[in-house]
Amino acid sequence: MTCCEGWTSCNGFSLLVLLLLGVVFNLIPIVMEAVEDKSFQNPISCFEWWFPGIIGAGAMVIPATTVTLAARKRACCNNRTGMFFSSLLNVLTIIGAVYCMLVSLQALYEGPLICNSQGNSTTSCEFSFEKLSDFDPESFDLHWFLNDSCILPTSTNYSTINNDTRASGWGDLDFDVDFSSKQSRYKTVHLAVFLGLLLVGILELLFGLSQIIIGFLGCLCGVSKRRGHVV
């Protein structure tokens, strides 16, 4: 087995694990919503319904994962063509990983729906890719998670409370997790899910890029031609 085949096999198994993790992370808030409200009218956030883990980190990674796993030693795609397609299909992996990362960052930026909407229902969700372009890295923080309460009494007080919170600094934030509180459960699940999806997206991006490089090397330099019994 050449280094191209060994690296390809490692990338394939890694992508397989990551896509499964992405799907599981995405399903956690959806299942939680189904248990607490079978009508799905009170979601944890709008962004789990963008399916960043199921579509971005999941379905869009399946083609590259399949070919990459098949392109290892003694498999049907263990040739220059197989290596080339493993590189080509990982472009789709990178697109899906970037989508997963952007949605996760936007979700972490806005916080759970309970922190942003008094209605806390799917009617408050705006499904638009323009929201992803509104992300401002300079204003990114997790005050909605670290504050004792993120529920604002009225919309008119939002700017005042938000400015006071930012001025107070991280050290003055009162953070308390109480899973008996719906707000605390939603905040914790939201943070864990989208941090996990962000990490999955970053790792998929790195493995996708590495397979593009090694796939082209395998396409140019060739792979081992010695065949043996399949074990």
**What's the pLDDT tens digit per position in 159-177?**
444 444 444 443 444 444 4
Closest CA relative to residue 6, chosen from 76, 66, 71:
71
Q: What is the pLDDT of residue 195?
A: 95
| pLDDT tens digits for range 78-91 | 677 777 888 899 99
Distance of CA 28 to the CA centre of its chain: 13
Q: What is the pLDDT of residue 109?
A: 85
Which is more confident, 157 or 141? 141
> Which residue do the tokens 């399946």 mark?
62
Q: What are phi and psi of 140, to 5 degrees?
A: -70, 130
Asked if 25 and 197 count as a contact pair (C-beta separation under 8 A), the reply is yes
CA distance 211 to 223: 15
Mean pLDDT computed over 93-119:
86
Flag whether the pTM goes above 0.85.
no
